[in-house]
């Protein structure tokens, strides 16, 4: 079966704020999609709903036709989520962080792939350094190294280019494109321009909340 992520008439509330409503989307293999909109419109909130970390006020999210809230384990196996923050443990070394991730996630196994991932994100030579002693960009790169380890088809990435230098951004975009070309799905937010011919955009401002019966 081809992997599909279906968003069905989602309405999103954060605190007392109704952010957007009536959002329906389908993501399929090969899709590279950027969620767009001004600060505070609800991009991160939408990504958290897509991952199952937050619930919509109304509507459903389905992965391969199954509601994600009812098939959490299967869904988590197929999902790689990188949140706004780096998602790393500051007291562990670079190597320990990635090795831990490798053990608990749907990943390529072995030390060789871990060395390769470190190489890809420019952290070779930093493997024994405690994460908290690295720069913001280097810490972000520890999280991004997961993209070279993961075998999950669905990647949901909140601001993956934040704190990453120009060369790093280009390399990352190429890697995201490759994942989509190989049948994966990538959904991102970004305040930077993403230079990719493959990129599709979803504008959250097209789904305002008007009233009760969305």
Query: Which lies closer to ligand ATP via its Cβ, residue 39 or residue 167?
Result: 39
Contacts with ligand ATP: how many residues (CB under 6 A)? 12
CB of 84 to ligand ATP, least distance (A): 7
Residue nearest ligand ATP (C-beta atom) = 15
Query: Which lies closer to ligand ATP via its Cβ, residue 13 or residue 97?
Result: 13
CB 93: neighbour CB atoms within 10 A? 17
The total number of residues shown for the chain amounts to 214
- Taking the C-alpha atoms of residue 74 and residue 68, their distance in angstroms, rounded to an integer, is 9
Q: Are 52 and 7 in contact (CB under 8 A)?
A: no
Q: Are 115 and 145 in contact (CB under 8 A)?
A: no
Q: Residue 192 interacts with ligand ATP (CB under 6 A)?
A: no
Residue found under tokens 């871990």: 114
| DSSP-derived 3-state class of residue 17 | strand
Q: In what order do the strands lie in the sheet with 154-158?
A: 79-82, 154-158, 185-189, 32-36, 199-203
- Residue 150 pairs with which residues in a beta bridge? 107
Antiparallel, parallel or unpaired: β 17-27 and 5-14 = antiparallel
- Taking the C-alpha atoms of residue 185 and residue 173, their distance in angstroms, rounded to an integer, is 13
In the range 22-51, which residues lie near ligand ATP by CB under 6 A?
A: 37, 39-45
Q: Residue 14 interacts with ligand ATP (CB under 6 A)?
A: yes
Q: Residue 57 interacts with ligand ATP (CB under 6 A)?
A: no
Query: Which lies closer to ligand ATP via its Cβ, residue 40 or residue 208?
Result: 40
Query: Which lies closer to ligand ATP via its Cβ, residue 122 or residue 160?
Result: 160
Query: Which lies closer to ligand ATP via its Cβ, residue 37 or residue 153?
Result: 37
Query: Which lies closer to ligand ATP via its Cβ, residue 13 or residue 138?
Result: 13
CB of 37 to ligand ATP, least distance (A): 6
| Site residues (vs ligand ATP, CB under 6 A) | 14-15, 17, 19, 37, 39-45
């Amino acid at each position: 079966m081809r992997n599909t992520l279906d968003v069905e008439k989602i309405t999103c509330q954060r605190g007392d704020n109704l952010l957007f409503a009536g959002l329906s989307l389908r993501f399929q293999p090969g899709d590279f999609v950027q969620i767009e909109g001004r600060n505070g419109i609800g991009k991160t909130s939408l990504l958290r709903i897509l991952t199952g970390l937050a619930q919509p006020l109304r509507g459903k999210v389905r992965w391969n036709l199954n509601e994600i809230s009812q098939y959490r384990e299967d869904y988590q196996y197929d999902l790689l989520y990188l949140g706004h923050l780096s998602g790393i443990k500051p007291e562990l070394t670079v190597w320990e962080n990635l090795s831990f991730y490798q053990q608990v996630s749907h990943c390529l196994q072995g030390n060789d792939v871990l060395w390769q991932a470190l190489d890809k994100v420019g952290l070779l030579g930093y493997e024994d350094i405690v994460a908290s002693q690295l720069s913001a960009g280097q810490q972000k790169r520890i999280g991004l190294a997961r993209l070279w380890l993961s075998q999950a088809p669905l990647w949901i990435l909140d601001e993956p280019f934040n704190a990453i230098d120009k060369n790093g951004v280009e390399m990352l975009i190429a890697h995201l494109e490759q994942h989509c070309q190989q049948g994966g799905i990538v959904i991102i937010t970004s305040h930077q321009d993403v230079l990719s011919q493959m990129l599709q955009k979803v504008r959250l401002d097209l789904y305002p909340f008007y009233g009760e019966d969305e």
